[in-house]
């Protein structure tokens, strides 16, 4: 009798444990971004790549037999979308009818009258949230998906109702898996404010949901946990500039009650990197260009040609040589996808020697060096940096003409 009871218990536990669903969590695709920071030809390449990344996400849903795709806002870069883009979206979503798609509009694609979310005829597997947090019951997979929508480009009052808990939803089983998909800003403390739907970690903890798919922050987080609820930002899958560095993608895997097994899958087509490159002792433009190229090729051997780099030159150079950042940028752009070059090098002079010189140069160095020492003693790093630049440009001007905007 006792044994039988135990068996029944373990059998029901086994059923509980196997109740899991396959999901993909994506956000911030920003489809239709103009990529206007790039040269025109590069921008159009990026628009095409962004679209392919979107299709790769759809393909991933199909390949992994994904039951639920959560899109946590900013699917579109702007509410004005070309008819072609709308057709693309409707068709692509229609091609994965087995995947139920839930979209919570964000600050870039808010839900309002006559927006594409309202005017388009979306396939039946797509649900777009329209305003306040509401539950949608997916009976066939014993899951409830909650979502909400930005109604404007700002959302200073939270979309997370006070005291919310995933309690009973009509038509849902008590053991349903609960997912929430939201665009918003995680804020700390009771006073945490944001113009983009402030979300408190305590709200996440109190929600009782199994997983919360977040959008808005463009860099992914790991899968975090508050109470029994897992949550994460999946980040923007295709970088739109240098502030969105490195490989990017979506979360894919399974959610069960109290369990999130998610992998981060990279689906971006191209990487953007921001880095410092030391160019100490380069005395000519050719040496400099060679040093930068060698550095980048060694650091990114497999992806140098396909990637984009925002390079800041650092180190000490002879005072009579100032890098030509425009020439360097132009030559790099012929070798890799895109390049920006900034010069933060300093002049390799010995100020202690120079300030003793009986010359205007000596007096100049002495004055600036005294100020620099004072700034350093006061711990004023910004002034030290500014005085280093003044010293560098000043000393260069004794050697040759200093170009307009050389300090940029
Ligand atoms: Mn965004």
**CATH number for the domain that contains residue 183:** 3.60.21.10
- Ligand 1 center to 290 CA (angstroms): 38
Is 5 within a domain? Answer: no
Q: Is residue 299 part of a domain?
A: yes
Question: What is the CA(28)–ligand 1 centre distance, in A?
Answer: 4
Calculate how far, in angstroms, residue 237's C-alpha sits from the geometric centre of ligand 1.
Answer: 10
Distance 100 CA to ligand 1 centre (A): 22
Range of 383's domain? 273-399
14 in a structural domain: no
Q: How far does the centroid of ligand 1 lie from the alpha carbon of residue 216, in Å? A: 4
pLDDT class of 17 with cuts at 50, 70, 90:
low
Centre of ligand 1 from the C-alpha of residue 209, in Å: 23
- Whether 280 and 367 share a structural domain: yes
Instruction: Between 59 and 5, name the one with better pLDDT.
Output: 59
Residue 7: inside a domain: no
In 3-state terms, what secondary structure has residue 263? strand
Same-domain check for residues 258 and 306: no
Per-residue pLDDT of 242-262, as tens digits, reads 999 999 999 999 999 989 999
68 and 173 share a domain? Answer: yes
Verify that 262 and 301 share a domain, yes or no.
no
Question: How many alpha carbons lie under 13 Å from residue 187 in its C-beta half-sphere?
Answer: 19
Band (192; pLDDT cuts 50, 70, 90): confident
Å from CA of 226 to ligand 1 middle: 23
Residue 233: CB partners within 8 Å, gap ≥ 6? 27, 72, 214, 215, 216, 217, 219, 220, 221
297 and 199 assigned to the same domain: no
CA 228 – ligand 1 centroid, Å? 27
Mean pLDDT for 263-281 is 96
CA dihedral over 381, 386, 387, 392, signed as positive or negative: positive
Q: Which of 250, 266, 282 marks a domain boundary?
A: 266
Please tell me the distance between residue 40's alpha carbon and the centre of ligand 1 in angstroms. Answer: 23
Last residue of a domain, one of 266, 283, 318: 266
Angle (nearest 5°) at CA 90 between 41 and 33: 30
Question: Does the predicted model carry a pTM greater than 0.85?
Answer: no
Over residues 163-186, mean pLDDT: 92
Element spanning 126, H or E: strand 126-128
Measured in Å, residue 104 CA sits from the centre of ligand 1 at: 12
- For residues 231 and 259, state if they share a domain: yes
pLDDT reported for residue 6:
41
Same domain, 395 and 288: yes
Using the predicted structure, report yes or no on whether residue 13 has a pLDDT greater than 70. Answer: no
Q: Spell out which residues have Cβ within 5 A of ligand 1, the ion.
A: 28, 74
114 in a domain, yes or no? yes
Q: How confident is the model at residue 405 (pLDDT cuts 50, 70, 90)?
A: low
Q: Are residues 236 and 375 in the same domain?
A: no
- How many Å lie between the centroid of ligand 1 and the Cα of residue 184? 9
Q: If you measure from the C-alpha of residue 109 to the centroid of ligand 1, how many angstroms do you get, rounded to a whole number?
A: 9
Question: Is residue 406 pLDDT above 90, yes or no?
Answer: no
Domain assignment present for 350:
yes
Cβ contact 37:241 at 8 Å: yes
- What is the band of 324 on the pLDDT scale with cuts at 50, 70, 90? very high
Same domain, 233 and 301: no
Judged by average pLDDT, the poorest of 124-138, 189-203, 369-383 is 189-203
Q: Ligand 1 centroid vs 113 CA: distance in angstroms? A: 21
Provide the 8-state DSSP code for 31.
Answer: B
Q: What is the pLDDT of residue 292?
A: 97
Please report which confidence band the pLDDT of residue 403 belongs to, taking 50, 70 and 90 as the band edges: low
Of the listed ranges 112-116, 308-312, 321-325, 403-407, the one predicted with least confidence: 403-407
Look at 351 and 204; give whichever has higher pLDDT. 204
Domain's final residue, options 231, 266, 301: 266
How far, in Å, from the CA of 275 to the mean position of ligand 1?
24
What's the gap in Å between 29 CA and the centre of ligand 1? 7
Instruction: Tell me, yes or no, whether 48 and 168 share the same domain.
Output: yes
In 130-258, the DSSP E strands lie at: 134-138, 143-147, 177-183, 185-187, 198-200, 211-215, 224-226, 229-233, 249-256
1 lies in some domain:
no
Task: Tell whether 282 and 257 lie within a shared domain.
Answer: no
Q: Tell me the CA–centroid distance for residue 208 and ligand 1, in Å.
A: 26
- Domain membership flag for residue 340: yes
Does the pLDDT of residue 408 top 90, yes or no?
A: no
293 with 335: CB under 8 angstroms?
Answer: yes
Distance CA 146, CA 136 (A): 6
Bigger pLDDT: 87 or 408?
A: 87
Domain check: are 284 and 301 in the same one? Answer: yes
The pLDDT score that the predictor gives to residue 108 is 97
pLDDT value at 1 more than 80: no
* Per-residue model confidence (pLDDT) at position 195: 93
Task: Give me the percent of the chain exceeding a pLDDT of 70.
Answer: 93
Q: What pLDDT, on a 0 to 100 scale, did the predictor assign at position 378? A: 95
Å from CA of 108 to ligand 1 middle: 7
* Average pLDDT taken over every residue of the chain: 91
pLDDT band at 338 (very low <50, low <70, confident <90, very high): very high
pLDDT of residue 363: 93
Residue 299 pLDDT exceeds 80: yes
Segment 305-331 shows an average pLDDT of 93
Number of domains in the chain: 2
């Amino acid at each position: 009798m006792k044994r039988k009871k135990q068996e029944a218990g373990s059998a029901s536990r086994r059923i509980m444990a196997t109740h899991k669903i396959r999901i993909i969590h994506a956000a911030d695709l920003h489809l239709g971004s103009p990529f206007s920071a790039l040269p025109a030809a590069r921008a159009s390449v990026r628009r095409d790549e962004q679209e392919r990344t979107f299709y790769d996400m759809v393909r991933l849903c199909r390949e992994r037999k994904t039951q639920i795709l959560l899109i946590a806002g900013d699917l579109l870069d702007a509410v004005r979308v070309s008819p072609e883009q709308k057709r693309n979206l409707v068709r692509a979503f229609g091609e994965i009818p087995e995947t139920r798609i839930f979209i919570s509009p964000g600050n870039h694609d808010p839900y309002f009258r006559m927006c594409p979310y309202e005017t388009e005829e979306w396939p039946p597997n797509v649900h777009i949230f329209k305003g306040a947090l509401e539950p949608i019951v997916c009976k066939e997979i014993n899951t409830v998906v909650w979502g909400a929508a930005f109604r404007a480009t700002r959302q200073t009052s939270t979309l997370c109702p006070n005291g919310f808990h995933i309690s009973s939803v009509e038509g849902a089983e008590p053991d349903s898996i609960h997912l929430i998909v939201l665009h918003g800003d995680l804020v700390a403390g009771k006073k945490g404010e944001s113009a983009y739907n402030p979300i408190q970690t305590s709200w996440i903890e109190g929600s009782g949901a199994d997983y919360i798919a977040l959008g808005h922050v463009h860099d992914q987080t790991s899968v975090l946990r508050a109470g029994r609820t897992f949550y994460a930002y999946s980040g923007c899958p295709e970088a739109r500039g240098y502030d969105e560095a490195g490989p990017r993608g979506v979360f894919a895997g399974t959610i069960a009650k109290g369990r999130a097994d998610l992998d981060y899958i990279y689906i971006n087509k191209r990487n953007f990197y921001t880095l410092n490159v030391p160019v100490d002792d380069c005395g000519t433009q050719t040496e400099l260009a060679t040093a930068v190229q060698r550095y980048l090729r060694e650091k990114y051997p497999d992806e140098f040609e396909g990637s984009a780099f925002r390079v800041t030159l650092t180190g000490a150079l002879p005072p009579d040589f100032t890098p030509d950042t425009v020439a360097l940028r132009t030559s790099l752009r012929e070798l890799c996808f895109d390049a920006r070059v900034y010069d933060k090098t300093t002049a390799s002079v010995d100020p202690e020697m120079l300030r003793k010189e009986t010359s205007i140069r000596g007096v100049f160095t002495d004055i600036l060096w005294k100020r620099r020492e004072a700034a350093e003693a006061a711990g004023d790093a910004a002034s030290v940096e500014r005085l280093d630049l003044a010293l560098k440009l000043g000393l260069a001007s004794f050697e040759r003409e200093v170009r307009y905007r050389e300090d940029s």
